[in-house]
Amino acid sequence: MSSVRRRTVLAAAAAASALAGLPTAASAAPSTPTAVTPRALPGGGDLGPNVIVFDPSTAGIQAKLDQIFAQQETAQFGTGRYAFFFKPGTYSGLNAQLGFYTSIAGLGLSPDDTTINGDVTVDAGWFNGNATQNFWRSAENLALVPVSGTNRWAVAQAAPFRRMHVRGNLNLAPNGYGWASGGYIADSRIDGQVQPYSQQQWYTRDSVIGSWLNGVWNMVFSGVQGAPAQGFPNPVYTTLATTPVSREKPFLYLNGTEYRVFLPEKRTNASGVTWGNGTPRGTSLSLSQFYVAKPGVTAATLNQALTQGLHLLLTPGIYHLDQPIQVNRANTVVLGLGYATLVPDNGVTALKTADVDGVRLAGFLIDAGTVNSNTLLEVGPSGTTTDHSANPTTVQDVFVRIGGAGAGKATTSMVINNRHTIVDHTWLWRADHGTGIGWDTNRADYGLVVNGADVLTTGLFVEHFNKYDVQWNGERGRTIFFQNEKAYDAPNQAAIQNGSIKGYAAYKVGANVTVHEGWGLGSYCYYNVDPTIVQHNGFSAPTRSGVKFHDLLVVSLGGQGQYEHVINETGAATSGTSTIPSTVVSYP
């Protein structure tokens, strides 16, 4: 970790000169020290040692890729964080294997500006062919020409595949077709076939595909040209022709020799990719408008940069915070590279935004600290009702972890108060393995709490919380795709009892909500500490005409615990030890 970069200050003036010509010094007014003022922080600068940039003439690219992969392949809870960037051009003979906390991206405005004749590979050899723990890695803004005609991307949660062009097929399963539990694709073009094979669930948004091979439990598409037809529950496809509102994630690119950050514009009723027909629509910011943060910087300095009017670019590494990062200015961008990780110390909240338009939060991980935080991320203050429909806040590839890398606690992971916020791909995870885990050791009652109206979530993954994984109180909320596992480690039925109800629903819509809608939502249980635990339902909502759900499922994994119903009192109980979903196509 680099040395601490602290706020620097101007020295205060200590004395004033006596006025010339006065008869005695005693008649002069006493001097007053000037105020201590922080020196302005610079924008721009280098991206640090863990951002590794290649161009087509760079020697030893494969060796560098292999070196980082060897370090990161099994480092599930390690401290290494890396981002590979490829300048526009053509690269041949590469196989970029991605381990934990590793991102790869092109630096063009379009994926087709940067072509790799080769592969970007995620496989599960490190875990005996089981891909269910291939978390925290990403690929963005590249064109791939796979050597065999098929690129392998066998990932689980928190592993986005964005703005990619695969000139061939895309295989989402590990070698040997072992277990797999992902995943997310957006703004991508797959010329050939997407082949999930053993993938349990997947969400694809605003993309173009040649075809889609199969599905296991829950495959959801919105705005995907070439998607299979609606078929749930057999086949397991939930297909929406468009995505109601979307705005793609900001990304770093090169304009000549200048680094800039592109900000894609908002789309409504979107379908297909944002690139490929001329310059993408949106605006861009020079890197000089960003404070380029390095690990070790203080929260006070990050907040000083924001107060100055700078945006934040978080280079790869771990950032300890003794106060919240406070985003108060409209249209502020906070962009992380290489899974930059925020750790709130002493029970603080990692990041808060004000009730302003157009904030973009993207590409970072929040790791709960050892002292309980009431919240880890707050979008907007409590009680706000401001209309942000023209320019919403977006939260994209922002992930939360409680435990796993060590004991961590947080009452609520993410709270959305601002209206019209779009949460586009998140994984909120109370860890079920690693270190510092246990029913009370990494206590975390709630994953996502939505209080704001008109909030949209696309690609929502929330797992293992002690109470409600999702609590939705705001009006007119919408969710397209939800994946959940209830907490494995509940010690007994009494520990999860919710008054007279057996267990807390995975997704709870508040009793006063009159309008809400969800598509393609799944909850799974695996109560391995006490397999006799019964969960009353996966989903709970008021029964009224404006509250609608489409394509719901609950699954008992190997009979370790059971669901009595899918939603409220509707839907059959799960069936013994058979890992077969119980489904509801439409509710009410």
The catalytic residue positions are 485
Asked whether the beta carbons of 458 and 423 are under 8 A apart, the reply is yes
Q: Strand pairing of 150-152 and 169-171?
A: parallel
Separation CA 551–CA 521 (nearest Å) = 7
CA 264 from chain center: how many Å?
17
Phi, psi of 38 (to 5 degrees): -65, 140
* Cα→Cα distances 521→140, 471, 579, 584, Å: 26, 14, 17, 10
CA 56 – CA 108 distance, rounded (Å): 13
Strand order in the sheet with 534-540: 325-327, 351-353, 373-379, 410-416, 446-450, 470-472, 507-509, 534-540, 562-567
CB 233 within 8 A of CB 217: no
Q: What are phi and psi of 161, to 5 degrees?
A: -120, 95
3-state secondary structure 25-94: HHHCCCCCCCCCCECCCCCECCCCCCEEEECCCCCCHHHHHHHHHHHHCCCCCCCCCEEEEECCEEEEEE
Q: How many residues does the chain have?
A: 588
